[in-house]
């Protein structure tokens, strides 16, 4: 069974690159173009169910990534889903805030290649499945 990845990313080029690379790496990819779409996806999951992992941008129109992360971790249905932040925000305070809110890891877009993002997702899912 394919690992389901929800990518919440408003930059269409970045979202497309991520979706293409993840799909080629045998992930089932769902895209949400903003925070509201991401939250709708989690509140009313499609037939395949909730995602196994979420890749979350922080700078989004409408609802910020920090708000989404807080909601994910407060909800009994979604709090166990690992969240990997992928953002341009990279100050120590922002990284600490993301991790404190419950993100599994924090990647800064300018410092990471798409292949490294895919590896982080694969490693995070593998770690979650260990007893």
- Render pLDDT for 83-111 as a digit per residue (tens, 0 to 9): 999 999 999 999 999 999 999 999 999 99
CB-based contacts of 79: which residues, under 8 Å, 6+ apart? Answer: 72, 73, 102
Using CB atoms within 10 Å of the CB of residue 25, give its burial: 0 to 12 exposed, 13 to 18 middle, 19+ buried.
Answer: middle
- CA of residue 75 relative to chain centroid, distance: 16
Whole-model pTM above 0.85?
A: yes
- Render pLDDT for 14-37 as a digit per residue (tens, 0 to 9): 999 999 999 999 999 999 999 999
* CATH no. of 3-61+76-129: 3.40.50.2300
């Amino acid at each position: 069974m394919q690992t389901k990845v929800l990518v919440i990313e408003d930059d269409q080029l970045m979202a497309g690159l991520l979706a293409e690379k993840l799909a080629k790496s045998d992930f089932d990819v769902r895209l949400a173009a903003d925070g509201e779409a991401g939250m709708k996806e989690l509140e009313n999951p499609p037939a395949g169910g909730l995602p196994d992992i979420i890749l979350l941008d922080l700078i989004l129109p409408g609802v910020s990534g920090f708000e989404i992360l807080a909601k994910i971790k407060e909800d009994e249905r979604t709090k166990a889903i690992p969240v990997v932040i992928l953002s341009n925000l990279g100050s120590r305070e922002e990284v600490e805030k993301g991790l404190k809110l419950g993100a599994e890891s924090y990647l800064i877009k300018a410092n990471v290649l798409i292949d490294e993002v895919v590896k982080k997702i694969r490693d995070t899912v593998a770690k979650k499945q260990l007893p």
